[in-house]
Amino acid sequence: MAQKIKNGLLLLIFIFLFLPMLQQEFTLVPVEKFTGNFDKQLYHEFTWTEWWDGSFWNLRSQLLTEQVGFEGDFVKLNNQLDYSLFHKYKSQSLVIGDNNCLFYREFLFPYYGKNFVGTQAILGKVSKLKALQDTFAHMGKSLVLIQAPCKVSYYADLIPAGFKALKRKTTNYEVLAHVADSIGINHIDLNSWFVSLKPKTTDLLFTKESIHWSMYGSLIAADSCTHYLEQLRHVKMVRPCWTKIEHTRTARYTDDDITKSIKMILPFSDDIYSYPEVTYPDSGITSRPRVIYIGDSFLFNWMKSRYLDNANIHWEFWFYFKEIWDRYSQDDNQPHKSMAGYDWVDAINNADCIVLIYTSANDAHLGDGFIEQAYQHYFPAK
């Protein structure tokens, strides 16, 4: 009997060892395609030169390792064991905060003023922005600066202990908000608004597993910004509306974009996600402007919710002033275009509104060159 048990265990071990090879060759079980931010080793043709210098087998070994069956499942299992047993994750950029709240270092450092560019630099940039705002106003156009919310500010109580010990210094966000208000920039500070809303709402404006605002948070921000444009331009616009919100523990869209990227088996948190059933009623007397948005990735949620399609007759998103997205490229029906060689002056001439939207982590490079180039164009002698 004991020998049968040993033989059975030995057989199970052999089956376990050969399963990845069988999966690789015959795809015994359909598995989710393994994706992520890494370079896959492509098939490498045999050459005698690489055979004799030994490099061929290094490349072929890497290829076989990356194409082994159940690769994604093994990676997830390894990451899950590291986290569950040792509360760590093999990433230099990711930080696990209290209550399993996930942060990226690149967002934590600006919160503590580590990338502060200086008051004079911000004042100079905002002064140029004010000159552009006044110029556009004479052209019948509106320029608006939106400071998108920051997850670190929203979950400041969950910042890891190692970062809480740091002393907060002057930040780009604080100086930018103060200067923008002081010199009369059309300005919406969604960051301070989100922080003030946190204790008042049970619906999460940020989730613990995402980089960006939640889908729900992006929608209430969209409604607020639409209302601001209505007041600024003295028009009635199409606004997102909902009477019903679905609450679920299953994340959708980008509400768990960090955990999707770090490959885990189990969810990080027990968040309850909120998904409104959104409509965009059009009374027939509404105005649908032509809007150019310039900013960072926070705007992509407005694309996913179709807010941009419904609120605007035409829109363009100049992502970091490098790429051009529109209603045709947002679903990959057409590739997005490059700003290089694009006649952005003509695009502004045909627009009603120019909206800059940046989260505080990116305030150090507000506009990504747009403000300086536009100022040089409209004020060439200065």
Least confident range of 36-45, 232-241, 296-305: 36-45
Give the tens place of pLDDT for each residue, 308-317. Answer: 999 999 999 9
The predicted pLDDT at position 262 comes to 76
Q: What pLDDT, on a 0 to 100 scale, did the predictor assign at position 261?
A: 76
pLDDT of residue 39: 46
Measured at the alpha carbon of residue 226, what is the angle toward residues 224 and 229, in degrees to the nearest 5?
Answer: 115
> Mean pLDDT of all residues in the chain?
86
CB 355 within 8 A of CB 144: yes
pLDDT at 186 over 80: yes
Question: Are the CB atoms for 189 and 147 separated by under 8 Å?
Answer: yes
Q: Give the pLDDT of residue 212.
A: 95
Three-state secondary structure of the chain: CHHHHHHHHHHHHHHHHHHHHHHHHHCCCCCCCCCCCCCCCCCCCCCHHHHHHCHHHHHHHHHHHHCCCCHHHHHHHHHHHHHHHHCCCCCCCEEECHHHCEEEHHHHHHHCCCCCCCHHHHHHHHHHHHHHHHHHHHCCCEEEEEEECCHHHHCHHHCCHHHHCCCCCCCHHHHHHHHHHHCCCCEEEHHHHHHHHHHHCCCCCECCCCCCECHHHHHHHHHHHHHHHHHHHCCCECCCECCCEEEECCCCCCCCHHHHHHCCCCCCCCCCEEEECCECCCCCCCECCEEEEEECHHHHHHHHCCHHHHHCCEEEEEECCCEEECCCCCCCCCCCEECCCCCHHHHHHCCCEEEEEEEHHHHHHHHHHHHHHHHHHHCCCC
Distance CA 175, CA 375 (A): 21
Report residue 65's pLDDT band, with 50, 70 and 90 as the boundaries: low
- pLDDT for the residue numbered 51: 57
- Spatial separation of the C-alpha atoms in residues 68 and 74, rounded to whole Å: 10
User: Which pLDDT belongs to residue 38?
Assistant: 43
Strand partners, 224: none
Residue 63 pLDDT level (bands cut at 50, 70, 90): low
Residues ≥6 apart with Cβ < 8 Å to 352: 140, 141, 142, 233, 289, 290, 291
Report residue 31's pLDDT band, with 50, 70 and 90 as the boundaries.
low
Kindly state the tokens that stand for 34: 């393994």
Instruction: Report the predicted TM-score, pTM, of the whole model to 2 decimal places.
Output: 0.82
**pLDDT: is 76 or 302 the higher one?**
302
| pLDDT band of 109, cuts 50, 70, 90 | very high
CA distance 103 to 175: 23
Domain boundaries, the chain: 35-68, 98-378
Which whole-number Å values give the CA distances from 338 to 14, 303, 375, in the listed order? Answer: 53, 18, 21
Tens-digit pLDDT profile for residues 327-337: 888 776 677 89
- Residue 328, both tokens: 């045709």
What mean pLDDT comes out for the span 72-97? 74
71-79: average pLDDT = 67
pLDDT digits (tens, 9 = 90+) for 232-272: 999 999 999 999 999 999 999 999 988 887 777 777 788 99
pLDDT exceeds 60 at position 33: no
Return the minimum-mean-pLDDT range out of 38-42, 226-230, 253-257, 302-306: 38-42
User: Residue 206: what are its φ and ψ, rounded to 5°?
Assistant: -135, 145
Contact 77, 263 (CB under 8 A): no
Most confident of the following: 3-7, 91-95, 179-183: 179-183
CA dihedral angle for residue 69, residue 70, residue 76, residue 78, rounded to 10 degrees: -60
What are residue 356's DSSP bridge partners? 145, 294
